[in-house]
Amino acid sequence: MFKEGMLALVGQGFIETIYMTVISTVLAYVIGLPLGLILVVTDKDGIHPISWLNKLLGLIVNFFRSVPFLILLIALMPFTKAIVGTVIGSKAAIVGLWVAATPFVARMVESSLKEVEVGVIEAAQSMGASPFQIMTKVLLPEAKPSLLVGAAISITTILGYSAMAGIVGAGGLGAIAINYGYYRGQNDIMYVMVVLLAIIVLVFQELGMRISKHTDRRL
């Protein structure tokens, strides 16, 4: 079933998938984490309400979240080309993944931060903490376990997106599954890819959960 060189191909696909997923997750957090923080802080019940900014950012996030991923990827092609000079391959896929994942990450971060008890924030305020100190010393550290769980969910979701990006020419395991399994009818290869992707999802998921549990002091 596996032809010569297939193993090398799968190996490369594996590396490409991990590369795309990890890089775009990191990039998504670079923007998504501050964005989620701003969404929480500027909320009408937040520590520094700014209604117009909150509404504007919420609108942008919702807009990008509502566009189906593949369509977003295609729509972004001119932008992608401008940034990385090409619209195919892993590098190009990262741009699309980044744009698609950022609003998702922002919402994950937002929901984690909202779990921090209002009372704890008020206690900090009663001690004279500034909004910035509350962000860095209360919101983020107190929400850390939940943020880590959110990161595990985000990375597995982005992994799923990366497999889909295979349709429009990204590399990785998803591309192999589509090219060999779908276009050439080699079902066995497709199933191998599906299993591999599932294993990666499980590993990321489990790892995230464990780190979160391990660092959570609430027992």
Residues at the site binding another protein, with contacts judged by CB under 8 A:
117, 119-120, 122-130, 133, 137-138, 141-142, 144-145, 216-219
Closest approach of another protein to the CB of residue 130, in Å: 6
Closest approach of another protein to the CB of residue 112, in Å: 13
Q: Which is nearer to another protein, 137 or 184 (CB)?
A: 137
Closest approach of another protein to the CB of residue 202, in Å: 27
Q: Which is nearer to another protein, 4 or 217 (CB)?
A: 217
- Lookup: tokens for 105: 């990450």
CB 97 within 8 A of CB 165: yes
Q: Which is nearer to another protein, 47 or 165 (CB)?
A: 47
Q: Which is nearer to another protein, 87 or 124 (CB)?
A: 124
> What is the rounded CA–CA span in Å between residue 13 and residue 197?
11
Closest approach of another protein to the CB of residue 111, in Å: 18
Burial of 25 (0-12, 13-18, 19+ CB in 10 A): buried
Closest approach of another protein to the CB of residue 141, in Å: 5
> What is the rounded CA–CA span in Å between residue 198 and residue 175?
15
Q: Which is nearer to another protein, 12 or 133 (CB)?
A: 133
Q: Which is nearer to another protein, 115 or 188 (CB)?
A: 115
Closest approach of another protein to the CB of residue 154, in Å: 21
